[in-house]
Structure 1
Amino acid sequence: MVGVETSQHVQLSYEPAGVGDRVLAYLLDGFFMGVYFFVVFWIWGYWYSLGSDPADLSLSWVFYVVIVLPLMLYHLVSEVLWKGYSPGKKIVGIRVVKVDGSRADLSGYLIRWLFRLVEISMTSGVIAFVAVIMNGKGQRLGDMVGKTCVIKERKKAKLEDTLFKDVSEGYEPVFPQVTELNDKDIRVIQDVLDARSHYEYDTWFKMLKRTRQKLEARLGVQDHGMRTDVFLETIIKDYNAIHGSVK
């Protein structure tokens, strides 16, 4: 798992992209690059058929600017502009991030792109494949040096299944102090509750306990007599009762 610490100092995790996902994204990107190559050559040939001077078409700078340069920079430019995605990665649902789960920066993209020339282009991906298998964190050599990794995007859930909860009519909030919280706080609490499937119980319980302690201190709540998970669920429920639930 790839860890990221939230603003509440709670450690959450992301699943590294598997080799299969990365290979599929690589093949899709290769397909898009191939389509670009053949389309440009078709346009080039059509232009020549109209009577253009072949000497102009064979200039080396034209070849590099129109064909070589875009293909060389395909991954770097797409990942920088699309915040970690290439077209292939976007379709597969994987993305380049920093090792802590936050958005990668330009240096990280640049380093992994430079290493791509050796890991993938010059060795047909053999070095990258072995590195990802052995590393276990979604990293090839360029990722290790650039402090990046490739993760699976979390499936989008319905808003009412995450941030908002249904509240029955006549429900009275147990902790009216939740007015001091905001949507971001509630989302973090829900993420902590949902993290049960990613951790051993003891680790998850420590996350719950730490979140509860911070909420108690922030809201001035003590001796509520609830189990930690019930307390956090009640906070979410109270928040929705006060702000209105989504139907």
Structure 2
Amino acid sequence: MSEISINTTQNVKINFTAASVGVRIAAYLLDFLIRIAYLVVIYVVLFNVFQIDALLEKIDRWSAIAINLVVCLPVIFYSLIMESIYEGQTIGKKLMKIKIVKLDGYQSSFSDYLIRWFFAIIDIYAFFGLIGIISLVSSKNTQSLGDLAVGTTVISIKNDVTINSTILEELSSEYVPEYPLVIKLSDNDVRIIKETFNKAMVKTDFEMIGKLKNKIEQVTGIKNNSRSEIEFVRTVLKDYNYYTQNM
């Protein structure tokens, strides 16, 4: 699996693992089964409960086509609707633990999902998906044509979850916070700070820790006058946990 480096909006680079072609295909097949199950259930209900077959016999051909089209709309727009609601995931992607992300670090917009949905005609349905597979295999960041068009890719979010891989920090019952202004940060900000801090500590990259400290001060307005840069970042992480868990 290839590594993808994404420069976040906080100007911090984070590496992700690209979702493999096999996993992306598996997610699509799961979504395909969900769509088939919907059609089976809806038509069983319409024909057996509402006796729609009698209605279809009484109306003209174009009206019958219109009714069937309306019934099929959730199937046609399934991926667009799900990815817009769940921020880059369908049910299949959730089950396979993969997600659509922007390579520039920004949140994908509805227009991004719309363009990807349109390009699925070529990526998935043209030549039995051969064009999409060739694009995934040959592109640098494992991107389909739809991904290339809007600057997205699909990453794996399957990780062994420990306290070190979340924004949580272990706090004693006697812990006293120092920086109330940490509440200006978001969960995503803190996740990025912690991931970057942990990587910097492993590599003893004190320059990166200094950049983190400066960025935290800039965003929150906190001024560190006494602690070392390492202790300052650690205190910010703990204070954020304290305030968010006790609000």
Q: Please state which band the TM-score falls in when normalised by the shorter chain.
A: 0.7 to 0.9
Q: How does 1:163-242 map to 2 (within 5 A)?
A: 163-167=168-172, 176=178, 178-182=179-183, 184=185, 187-195=191-199, 201=203, 205-214=206-215, 219-221=222-224, 226=228, 229=230, 232-233=233-234, 236=237, 239=239
In structure 2, the residue matched to 1:144 is 148
Measure the CA separation in 2 of the matches of 1:99 and 1:3.
5
Distance 2:124 2:242 in 1: 54
Question: What runs of 5+ residues in structure 1 fail to find an aligned partner?
Answer: none
Are residues 1:54 and 2:57 paired? yes
1:27 aligned onto 2:32 = no
Aligned-partner SS, 2:169? coil
Deviations 1:170-198 (A, max 9, x none): x888xx5x34433736554323223359x
Q: 1:5 aligns with which of 5, 8, 25?
A: 8
Query: Paired residues, what number?
Result: 234
Preserved contact between residue 183 and residue 243 of structure 2 (Cα < 8 Å): no
Consecutive unaligned residues in structure 2, runs of 5 or more: none
Q: CA deviation at 1:63?
A: 2.2
User: What TM-score do you get using the length of structure 2 for normalisation?
Assistant: 0.73
Cα 1:154–1:213, aligned 2, differ >3 Å: closer, same or farther? farther
Shift of 1:148: 1.9
Query: 1:118 corresponds to which residue?
Result: 122
Please state if 1:63 is matched with 2:68: yes
Deviations 1:105-149 (A, max 9, x none): 122111111110011012222211121122242421111112222
What is residue 16 of structure 1 aligned with on the other side? Answer: 18
Q: For CA contacts below 8 A with separation 6 or more, give which structure has more relative contact order.
A: 1
> Are residues 1:75 and 2:76 paired?
no
In terms of Rg, which structure is larger? Answer: 1
**Counterpart Cα distance in 1 of 2:34 and 2:241:** 49
Check conservation: 2:200, 2:209, Cα contact below 8 A. no
Give the SS at the match of 2:39: helix
Residues 1:153 and 2:157 aligned together: yes
Q: Distance in 2 between matches of 1:108 and 1:51?
A: 42
SS at match of 1:125: helix
Partners of 1:161 and 1:95 lie apart in 2 by: 18
Q: Is the 8 A contact 1:167 1:245 kept in 2?
A: no
Could you state the TM-score of these two structures normalised by the residue count of structure 1? Answer: 0.73
